[in-house]
Amino acid sequence: MVNATQSDLKSAAAAEPSQMGSWVRQNLSGYRAVHAIVDTLHAAGVREIFGQSCPTAVFLAAQALGIRQIGYRTENAGAAMADGFARASRRIAVITAQNGPAAALLAAGMSEAFKASVPMLAIVQEVPRANADRNAFQELDHERLFSACAKWVRRIDVPARAAEYTERAIRVATSGRPGPVVLLVSPDILTASCERGSAVPQDGDEPFGHFPLDRPISARTRLEKLAAALLQAKRPLIVAGGGVHLSGASEALSRLQRLAGVPTATTNMGKGAIDESHPLSIGVIGNTMGSRSPARFFGPYVRDADLIVFVGTRTNENGTASWTLFPKSATYVQIDVDPEEIGRNYPAIRLLGDAAATLDAVCDLLVGRVERLASQRLAELAPAFDEARTDHAKEIAPYAHAANAPMRPERILGEMARLDGDILWVADASYASIWLVQYIRCTKPGTRFLTPRGLAGLGWGVPMAIGAKLARPGERVVCLTGDGGFAHCWAELETAKRHGIPLTVVVLNNGELGFQINAEESRFDTHTDVCHFGPIDHVAIARACGCEARAVQTADELRRALNDAASSKAPFVIDVKTEPGAFPPLTAFESQLVPIRE
């Protein structure tokens, strides 16, 4: 038996530190692979990275370049923060996680981003290379983990290619149909020496790190097909989805609406793409056109449309009322950057390309050919559309003016709608999203209403609002959440407070999971006991995190709280006692509505 000397051990450690375990001291002097990664992030305009402690080398190198670390409390919420940041800024968001359970917790939020086409880069730490497949601490097969929720997953195994892979990851995330990507890297790769690379080329239609990176359009012959269809249609309809926001296409969409005189509606995720005060704007359509919906009385026009133009929408279940809303006899056109989405649910004239570039190109083809027809359409349709709005105002009045306590959500949203200035609106999933997009009227195309409707996971509203506020620090951010969703993310109030991120959080406190109750009643004529909560003091929770908070029960109290929250330098939580049993205008639950009469 040969005994190792102290010098032998030191030599072994210097030669192959990864074999000495996960806790060997790491060297960041000189230029390392981690510096190549961070330099590329900086070139992409990244100035914030969402993450806790790992990979630590990334944060230490980023700090030297002025890139701020935003330390979330849970990875699930951190992914939602990154999502909200990317949607609000139209720039890639970067998040990190340690191997194992932290990486696994990213998957839910990345799944939302994947379905909603939101680009983010997740840098996930691996175990040291020499320890792979040996049951190292928290070792997990990350490639399999992320295969269903990322559009691209790669492992950096060669230090000299760290910058190359980081650049490729950002380009993949921000081009085509945007989405999350993952880079897997072990700590011994991060600290390995490498040469400094060349500058990142700025060769896209948008700056590197912004999206969409490229703005392709279809051939002129296909654009002419849409132009001709718009000229021939008797009852045309444009349906705008979340892809309009991803493309920054609101201005181009509004131009087409005005130029061609085309009635225009949005999906939940497309909310904010159009001026809903325009005479030919319909509002949000889909599975929420029951009584009290602003779009309810536009139903006959939608169901009898002879030309339907989908722009950046997945034509999913909710946006099409389970694929029953639109007539089979209509001609369909679909504008989308993803070829797999075109024709997925409706046979359509294919216009593969960027929404903004495509809409502008079609407008250019129509100039001088459509103006007279647009005037005729406006004259014919505006009176009927005005009548539809009047009918809605009469129907909603008993709910919107209800003075009872607990408050009706329609009254709560009416007070929120009175807020002045540019506001970036955020809502949690489930009913909070629907209340928001139904009853806050958009009058400025491009206004963002961020809702996690890609996968619709509960609890992502508040962290999305934190990310959005980081992206747009000069705008007021107001988040609407239910008490069920708020319970998923209380801890992130401390994150917002610690990082100096003021936002207004309105909690609809009705002590129940409203959607679950309505869904179970619809299917089984009863509901399970766990849909009801015990009493929770949200004010005490918020104050324990260092935030301001207030409980309100009347419209006057809510109005004062909203005004006070506007000047707060800290997160401000408003707990609103909300009427149990109230639900938004989902068509499927219409039979459960107990009408209010004036």
Neighbours of 485 (CB within 10 A): 27
Question: Tens of pLDDT along 250-271?
Answer: 999 999 999 999 999 999 999 9
Question: Are the beta carbons of 78 and 50 closer than 8 angstroms?
Answer: yes
User: Can you give the pLDDT at residue 17?
Assistant: 45
User: What is the average pLDDT across 16-27?
Assistant: 59
Q: Is the pLDDT of residue 42 over 60?
A: yes
Q: Collapsing DSSP states into helix, strand and coil, what is residue 539?
A: helix
**Beta pairing, strands 423-427 & 349-352:** unpaired
User: What is the average pLDDT across 353-379?
Assistant: 97
Q: What is the mean pLDDT of the chain?
A: 93
For the ranges 5-19, 78-92, 164-178, 233-247, the lowest mean pLDDT is seen at 5-19
Please tell me the number of Cα atoms within 13 Å of 80 on its side-chain side.
31
State the chain's maximal CA–CA distance in angstroms: 99
Q: Is the pLDDT of residue 6 over 50?
A: no
Query: How confident is residue 20, by pLDDT bands cut at 50, 70 and 90?
Result: very low
Report the alpha-carbon angle 40-166-126, nearest 5: 120
Read off the amino acid at residue 518: N
User: Can you give the pLDDT at residue 22?
Assistant: 60
Domain boundaries, the chain: 26-190, 220-388, 401-592
User: What is the average pLDDT across 357-368?
Assistant: 98
Question: Tens of pLDDT along 295-340?
Answer: 999 999 999 999 999 999 999 999 999 999 999 999 999 999 999 9
Question: Are the beta carbons of 531 and 520 closer than 8 angstroms?
Answer: yes
Q: Which two tokens stand for residue 80?
A: 């939602």
Q: Collapsing DSSP states into helix, strand and coil, what is residue 537?
A: coil
User: Can you give the pLDDT at residue 166?
Assistant: 97
User: Can you give the pLDDT at residue 137?
Assistant: 67
Query: How confident is residue 13, by pLDDT bands cut at 50, 70 and 90?
Result: very low
User: Can you give the pLDDT at residue 456?
Assistant: 81
Peptide bond into 55 cis (omega under 30): yes
Identify the CATH assignment for 401-592 out of 3.10.450.50, 3.40.50.970, 3.40.50.300, 1.20.1440.130: 3.40.50.970
Mention the CATH class of domain 220-388: alpha beta
Beta bridge partners of 476: 423
For domain 26-190, give the fold. Rossmann fold (3.40.50)
User: Can you give the pLDDT at residue 277?
Assistant: 97
Cα–Cα nearest to 35, from 153, 209, 189? 189
User: Can you give the pLDDT at residue 2?
Assistant: 38
